[in-house]
Structure 1
């Protein structure tokens, strides 16, 4: 899987961390409480940055760098369909 060029604005922070585990370090470094937070399945990056009063552009840039270098990519999105009915 290729890393994204941008972060999908509809993707939740939970989804980001599941797909690219290396991004967890970015959330921790910014003291974001998203890891294990029940709201993480609802908040996108904009919501999370607003809640933690962080600059979204800076966090996004760091997340994309982590995604690019993530050796533990866990595969496709859990929200993508497989075509099975």
Structure 2
């Protein structure tokens, strides 16, 4: 197993971490630091925030290990050369949805459709019919399928799953989007 690079350390501010690695927010909140979005915590270091919430050194080290694992996963996904990247957490959630709906023989189809305040939005659906020109991306025994028109607009994107106090769902980090709306549900 490859060593996890320490992208995040105890002396980094929470604001810097959230800005560079927003995908780690759910992990931070699971550890009890629910203030990652408040103005007070923005300038606190990880260590200061954790100590302020009564965490011991071992818990802080475990938090750092977990958030570095998530940050590294996204970093390596960007470097793997795949047309679309799927995080382990997103793959796990896709598998969970398929199992819950008794559709283990299906896959997640991702399409870009017209709509939303910025002009386009993502559509996710469970499907079991693959078309001849579809591109299939596999991760941990699940498949995400996209048509050629969608692929052209999302090439290099990362599919992740976020579970925060504000809501939960799949999130697309699309380097080709030039603008997105305030709520993040549509893009241009």
TM-score normalised to the size of structure 1?
A: 0.67
Separation (CA, whole Å) in 2 of partners of 1:60 and 1:9: 7
Q: Flag the 1:9–1:30 CA change in 2: closer, same or farther, 3 A.
A: closer
Deviation sequence 1:38-84 (CA, Å, 0-9, x none)? 12221101001101222210111111011111255xxxxxxxxxxxx
Separation (CA, whole Å) in 2 of partners of 1:17 and 1:34: 11
Query: Please, which runs of 5 or more residues in structure 2 have no aligned partner?
Result: 75-157, 159-172, 174-188
* 1:58 matches 2:59: no
Partner of 1:18: 19
CA contact under 8 A between 2:36 and 2:42: conserved in structure 1?
Answer: no
* 1:27 matches 2:28: yes
- More helix as a share of residues: 1
Query: Please, which runs of 5 or more residues in structure 1 have no aligned partner?
Result: 73-85
**Quick one: higher RCO (CA 8 Å, sep 6+), 1 or 2?**
1
RMSD: 2.1
- More strand as a share of residues: 2
* 1:38 matches 2:13: no
Deviation sequence 1:24-48 (CA, Å, 0-9, x none)? 0111211212222112221101001
